[in-house]
Amino acid sequence: MSMFIRILKWTGPLAGVGAMTLGLLHWFFHISFLELHMLFGVLVTLALLITGSVGVSTKGLRVLGAIAIVFALIVPVFGITQTRILVGDFHWLIRVAHLLIGAAAVSLTERISERYLQIKQKPLACKEAVQAS
């Protein structure tokens, strides 16, 4: 399971950087790769959902895991509906919110992954210390 979490720890941020780059290209330069941007967003959301599910089943991560699952349900809904929210001169506020929500999803994925790996390494360190003495 630790190897799987390590993969998710890298997949979420890499997909997040891809989504962020493509989103900013669309926003500032009107270069549109929206389908690829949405694919990266789905990967970020799946990484968040999976790490949240692992977190819920791990002692010490249950609250963060539950938050991640709820957040993983909110992220795609906001991403899909953002074009219809606050249309007009203030739509840039929604774009900034979309950017921040994506960054928060990546950050939460990394935080849960890192904490999970720390929790799972503690018992291994204790066993190695006992065997060495």
User: Which pLDDT tens digits describe the chain residue by residue (133 residues)?
Assistant: 889 999 999 999 999 999 999 999 999 999 999 999 999 999 999 999 999 999 999 999 999 999 999 999 999 999 999 989 999 999 999 999 999 999 999 999 999 999 999 998 876 656 665 566 5
Q: State the Cα–Cα distance between residues 37 and 32, nearest whole angstrom.
A: 9
Structure tokens at 85: 């929210």
For the chain, the domain total comes to 1
Q: Residues for the chain: how many in total?
A: 133
CA 88, 95, 63: angle at the middle one, nearest 5? Answer: 135
User: Which residues span the domain enclosing 17?
Assistant: 2-132
Q: Answer yes or no: pTM beyond 0.85.
A: yes
The answer for residues whose C-beta is within 8 angstroms of residue 123's C-beta and 6 or more apart is none
Nearest to 11 by CA among 42, 56, 52: 42
